Structure 1
Amino acid sequence: MPSSKKKTRSGTAAKSEKIDLASSAARNASSSRVTAIIGFVLAWTFAYNLLIKRQGIARAFFQILDTISDDFVMGSLVAIFLGLAIVVVFSVTKLYGQINANIYSFAILENLLYDDLRSGNAYAFVSKLLHFRDQAAPKNVCPRRVGGILFGMGFIYAMSWIYVIVFSEALFFLSWSSGVNLPITKENMLLMPTLALSIPFSARVMAYLRYPYAQDYADFMPAAVFGLLMVTALGYLFESGDQKFFLKTIYDDKLFLESFLRNGLFLAFIPVFFEACYWLLDSLRAEKKAA
């Protein structure tokens, strides 16, 4: 018995020693990586001061921290802000594309709102939104609650308005950049937003028909919105005199603006109307099955 206890103790001590050696090696490796990273940044900054700022060796060395804080950190804030803005725009448009191409999307949203967000589990709500495509399809297409129905219709109307505005500008810019000069007249105030609305609405129609590639079609919209925002931002930043903007033109003309808003109010309701009809048919079909 004593010999077996000694063997057990010696085995435990050997395992403990191996663990200590492994952890020590991991710490040394981590320390080496940290040293290499810091050394690379300092060396690059020193070379930047010498070659780009044309400072002397002593001044370049003592100005390393100032260069990092003033040039690199402060200079990167704009890039970080633009990067975050791109991520937000892409995430929102990508989510809308997934919602638009999924026939059960508003029933799923209702479950997320009532089961997760209303119960205070905001993290689970956001996580499921980011993985919206992976959510299980409920039994019915139509939301079960009156609040869910009203939310769905309001969401569709608001997003329809957004895409009427965004894609009107996108189509106008696409035509202008291709050398096609589209005259802006009162008659075109209905045609342009109609074409703009048809792009996202066609994805929803594909969902109604259970078209297998509806999501593939909807996935191009984030890229279109991103491209439009980038071109618009570049035009404003560089003060391009050649670039023409559809929305700015109609905003400067009271008659054009009034006509555009009136037509937009009507057009944005079309997807709401078709969604309501589809939900009504689905509810009647569910009642027949239950009977």
Structure 2
Amino acid sequence: MNANDDGDRPAKPAAELAAAAEPIGAPESPAPASSPADESPAPALRTDHNRLRMAILLIIVIWTYAYNTLIKGFGPVRGFFEILDTISDDFVMGGLVTIALGLLIVAAYSVTRLYSQIIANIHSFRIMEDLVSTDFRAGRYRDFAAKVIRFEEQPLPQSTCPTRVSSLLFSFSFIYVMSWVYLVLFSEALFFVSWSAGVDLPINEGNVLLLPTLALAIPFSARVMAFLRYPYAQAYADFMPGAVFVLMVVFALGNLFESDDQKFFLSQLALDREMKILFLRNGLFLAFLPVFFEACIWIYELYREELSYTGGRQDIGVRDVAAGLDEEPPDASHPIDPQPKPTDTHPPHHNE
């Protein structure tokens, strides 16, 4: 009877049998030791970094010692003791000057690049208004700067004209100021191109008007392409940052080496008071032309948006309902006969 009962019981697991066989009060088995892979890699990483730092410093010291002995002509002993002076005076100061020039180039390129993106995008000022209202005013300055740098990647809004009067004033002011900047820069660039080609342009009344007009036409044509939805407007505008960079380099080299052969447009204008005043008067007029064009285009775009919103119909005499367009009620002064009179299809009889 008992044997049959034991046979019917289920077998105990091996873990329970081992636990039951272990005597009470026996010491617990120690935990398995952690493997080297489980330990933190920080000490090994720090050791590798220290080795790399020492290698970098050693390379700089050896290169500076070779520079002192081979280039400066110092002896072996003096070349060794002049290592710190060479690093501080030559390398550090020279590096600071190079970094400063590089930052100026980056700043000039960033401004001109942003302007080229703005003039090649018809929605640019509306996008800028959204960025200012959503990020800049909320204190997210880093997000605002990152989005401005990646201006081309911003989503396009439905409207092209800014929605606030303050945004309109800012947009017009920005266009006017940048028109002046490019009017001056590209006037100098065109004068330099003509001088490089061997054409000596005299500073007279006609050229003082012609050069600024051609200079302003370069960025203004990119804006016209944008409003015409020309697909390569951005590609055309992308050359302007490079042109400004070349102009800055040429102007800096000319002033640095004081070349007698090279002539500058602005320098010659500064010497002639009458031509300088004429240039300023022409610039005040020419720089306003892009502002006037932008205002006219925005008025047209607002009217175009209204037509697209109303389905191309005028609002006068039209009532838009959610389900569609309802017809206007008939005029009471001209009642409509519910039973139209049958038309006489027989031709009239002529009495002979």
The letter for the 2-side match of 1:71 is D
Matched with 2:178 is 159
Matched with 1:280 is 299
- Asked whether the 8 Å contact 1:186–1:255 carries over to 2, the reply is no
- Runs of 4+ displaced beyond 4 Å: none
What is the alpha-carbon distance in structure 1 between the residues aligned to residue 309 and residue 47 of structure 2? 68
Matched with 2:248 is 229
Q: Which of these residues, 224, 249, 270, is aligned with residue 205 of structure 1?
A: 224
Unaligned runs of 5+ in 1: none
Matched with 1:183 is 202
Matched with 2:169 is 150
1:126 pairs with 2:148: no
- Asked whether the 8 Å contact 1:103–1:208 carries over to 2, the reply is yes
Deviation of residue 180 (structure 1)? 1.2
The letter for the 1-side match of 2:88 is S
More RCO (CA 8 Å, sep 6+): 1
What is the alpha-carbon distance in structure 1 between the residues aligned to residue 170 and residue 114 of structure 2? 16
Task: Determine helix, strand or coil for the equivalent of 2:74.
Answer: coil
What is the alpha-carbon distance in structure 2 between the residues aligned to residue 151 and residue 6 of structure 1? 78
What is the alpha-carbon distance in structure 1 between the residues aligned to residue 93 and residue 209 of structure 2? 46
Matched with 1:10 is 32
TM-score normalised by length of structure 1 = 0.93
Task: Determine helix, strand or coil for the equivalent of 1:98.
Answer: helix
What is the alpha-carbon distance in structure 1 between the residues aligned to residue 262 and residue 304 of structure 2? 52
What is the alpha-carbon distance in structure 2 between the residues aligned to residue 6 and residue 235 of structure 1? 85
Distance 1:68 1:187, change over 3 A: same
Matched with 1:46 is 65
The letter for the 2-side match of 1:10 is P
- Asked whether the 8 Å contact 2:201–2:207 carries over to 1, the reply is no
Deviation of residue 26 (structure 1)? 2.7
Cα-Cα RMSD:
2.0
Which is helix-richer, 1 or 2? 1
The alignment of Structure 1 onto Structure 2 pairs a total of residues equal to: 286
1:193 pairs with 2:212: yes
Deviation of residue 6 (structure 1)? 7.2
Matched with 2:45 is 26
Percent identical: 55
Unaligned runs of 5+ in 2: 1-14, 19-27, 311-352
Deviation of residue 56 (structure 1)? 2.3
What is the alpha-carbon distance in structure 2 between the residues aligned to residue 6 and residue 232 of structure 1? 83
Deviation of residue 227 (structure 1)? 0.5
Matched with 1:265 is 284
Deviation of residue 22 (structure 1)? 4.0
The letter for the 2-side match of 1:163 is Y
Give 1 or 2 for the bigger CA radius of gyration: 2
Task: Determine helix, strand or coil for the equivalent of 2:284.
Answer: helix
1:180-230: per-residue Cα shift (whole Å, max 9, x none)?
A: 111221122211100000000010011011111111110100110110110
1:105 pairs with 2:124: yes
Range with greater deviation from structure 2 (109-118 or 141-150): 109-118
Q: Which of these residues, 44, 66, 83, is aligned with residue 64 of structure 1?
A: 83
Deviation of residue 32 (structure 1)? 2.2
Range with greater deviation from structure 2 (146-155 or 27-36): 27-36
